[in-house]
Every structure is written in C-alpha cells, then in structure tokens.
Copies of this chain bind each other. A is one copy, B any other.
C-alpha cells in the first residue's frame, strides 16, 4: 500500500478550511505554546463566508421545491446536467463572459466548483504531466495535482507590486511553458489575495498558452463580486485563447448557494465530454433537485448584486484599515471576492500553530498561509463575507493574541 499511502500523505485536510472541528478533536493542540488568557467574543469562522450574514439568493429554496415536484425528470438528469438547466446557464454565462457557450457540448453542471475542478484536472492531465500553479493560489489546486500524480511547477505572483495587476511573473511563466507544461490552472480573482489579473496579464497568459500549447483552467468563482468598478477580463472571450481550456464558476460564494453544491465548467467540447465520463463514475451528477436552483443565478432582483457588493466593500475597508494600522502587517486590499491575505511580522510560533492558538483563545478561525503555497509562512487568509461587527471584533482579538507572539 506504499504508493497509496504516499499519495494520501500529501492530501492532508487537517488545516483545510472547514475541518477545524476534527482537528480540535484530534488533540493536536496539546503541545501548543499557549500564552495568556482566553479573550471571549462571538466565534467567527473566517475559513468560509457566513451564509447567515449574507443569505442565499432570493427564491433559491422555492426553485428547489419546484424541482422536487417536477419529479423523476429532475432527479435523473444526464450526467452533465439537465438539458434545460444547461440551456439556462449557458445563456446567462454567455452573456456574462462574452464567450459563446453551446449548451449541448460545451458545458457541464457539477457538484460545486470543487467538483468542476476535480473533473477538469482529471480530464486534462495524466500522471507525470507538468501542471503550473500560482503561488499563492487555492489550496486544493496543489492537492489535486498531487492526487493525479502530476509534477507541480510553481509560478510566482508579486501581489504587493501594484493594485492594477495581479503581479504574476510572466517571464517565469513563459520559461516554464517553454520547458514543457501540460496545464496551467489559476484563479481570477486570485484566491487568497483577491487580486484581479489585468487585461494585459490575461491576454499574455492566453497568448503564451496558445503559443506553447498549454491547456488552461481558469477559476472565475469569485468574479461577480468586483469592487471599485475594477475592470475584469474573461480569458474565455479572447480571440487568442488556446484550443484546450475550461472556465470554472459557480453560485457558492457571492450568491451564498454553497449548501446546494452547484458548480459549472464550460469550454472545449472534448474536455467537457471527458469530464462527463468522469462524472459518471465520481458522483453521477449534481443533485438533480439542486440543479433547479440554477434558475435564480444571474437573475437576481434589480440592485441585489450591487447592494451585496457595497456591503462587502464596507467590511473590506474597515478590515484593511484596521490591519494596515498595525506595525509589521502588510495587506493588499481586495479587488474582487471576499478574501484578504495579510502578511504578519515574525512570530515566536509557526503560522499553523498561531492559527490553532487563535482559535483556542478567541474562537476565531482563519486559514494558514501555507495552505496556499509553502512560502507563505507569515500569512493567513480570511473570508470577510461575515457579519460586519462580529468580523471586526474577531480581528481585534486575533491582533491582541498576535502581539503575545511577536518576536522581540
């Protein structure tokens, strides 16, 4: 079982968002260097958005109920999703992205965007292939590549360089592509920093991918929540896009529909077809009744999205101001999405221990930077889609704890 155990050793979930409860149960904290007293306050889980603070899109439960009463036809869709849902979603996404999407051949509905990512990567690489991943980027990207026994090549992103671009090292990316890569996978806006790639960056990535025949997965999960009217470029709509590419998006974040587990991948028909074959053995389909909920997506009441974005802007600004006021902390303000990824000064404990200590002493959960790339030993990620006051208080408590560990 050596090959198997080796593979799973790389798939740790203990520090993954949402798993903190199990970690607590495993008594991993027993050797922690815990300093000082507990600071009480409302527990806040920054590892994901709070769908109680920002409720699911209006009408989502009603559409689910409608789907339930449709009966067997809704329960047993094709593996790539029901034809009606695929048509609906293709229409709104074609309009949203500017890419024309053929509902019959170029789209698949999946159990969440995680499902889409898994199916996409599983359909685009084989073991030994080189997969290019940004540092920092979504933690599961690396784990997926490990699971499929790919070789991971990192490309770096200097997200503190300028607020007008993501800061990806395009020279490094070209060198990597030139040396032979099968797939480049990245999130835009970037998870965990909330940086949007500039038009020039996106256009360069497309051109390089086409030139060196590298397939692309573009994760646009948080692309609808754009602040300060920043410009966003959909790579899938560019003329220079490569032949093999898939775009991933879903209603779990800004729209708070995570409890229904819905995601979408659209792009090259040959890849979508392979994704469906894989879906057939992975989980058959996104839950049939849940697929009916897609009907509310991109059809929100007038003003709904603008208001939601505005509320998030306010929380973001308050948190950024608070963090920036602390000596030794750097943070880039979020362009889009609900993440912040501050850098801390040197502490007496590792970032993973710090995160555990903070949870123990304050009831506040954040995700350690090392989940997003091995070099991020001084960062943590928060999802600030939370009750505003609870979030601000929680960060206050975290900062008090931080001072207890600041290196002299």
Which residues of A are interface residues toward B (Cβ below 8 A)? 1, 3-4, 7-8, 11-13, 16, 18-19, 21-22, 25, 45, 48, 50-52, 56, 61, 64-65, 67-68, 71-72, 74-80, 83, 104, 110-112, 114-115, 117-118, 123-128, 140, 143-144, 147, 258-261, 274, 276-278, 280-290
Q: Which residues of B contact A281 (CB under 8 A)?
A: 11, 114, 117-118, 140, 143-144, 147
Q: Which residues of B contact A126 (CB under 8 A)?
A: 1, 3-4, 7
Q: Name the distance in Å between A41's Cβ and chain B's nearest Cβ.
A: 18
Q: Which residues of B contact A290 (CB under 8 A)?
A: 261, 287, 290
22 contacts between A and B (CB under 8 A): A11-B274, A13-B276, A13-B277, A18-B78, A21-B78, A22-B80, A51-B71, A52-B72, A61-B65, A65-B65, A75-B258, A110-B283, A111-B283, A115-B282, A140-B281, A147-B281, A259-B287, A260-B287, A261-B284, A261-B285, A261-B286, A282-B283
For the complex, what is the distance from the CA of A52 to the CA of B74, rounded to whole Å?
A: 11
- Tell me whether chain A's interface is mostly helix, strand or loop, or mixed: helix
For the complex, what is the distance from the CA of A71 to the CA of B45, rounded to whole Å?
A: 14
Residue with the highest number of chain B CB atoms closer than 10 Å, among A3, A143, A260, A287: A287
Query: Is A111 touching B78 in the complex (CB atoms < 8 A)?
Result: no
Query: Is A114 touching B3 in the complex (CB atoms < 8 A)?
Result: no
For the complex, what is the distance from the CA of A48 to the CA of B65, rounded to whole Å?
A: 22
For the complex, what is the distance from the CA of A111 to the CA of B284, rounded to whole Å?
A: 9
Q: Which residues of B contact A56 (CB under 8 A)?
A: 68
Q: Name the distance in Å between A262's Cβ and chain B's nearest Cβ.
A: 8
For the complex, what is the distance from the CA of A125 to the CA of B277, rounded to whole Å?
A: 20
Q: Which residues of B contact A50 (CB under 8 A)?
A: 72
Query: Is A11 touching B280 in the complex (CB atoms < 8 A)?
Result: yes
Query: Is B259 touching A288 in the complex (CB atoms < 8 A)?
Result: yes
Q: Which residues of B contact A118 (CB under 8 A)?
A: 281-283
Query: Is A19 touching B114 in the complex (CB atoms < 8 A)?
Result: no
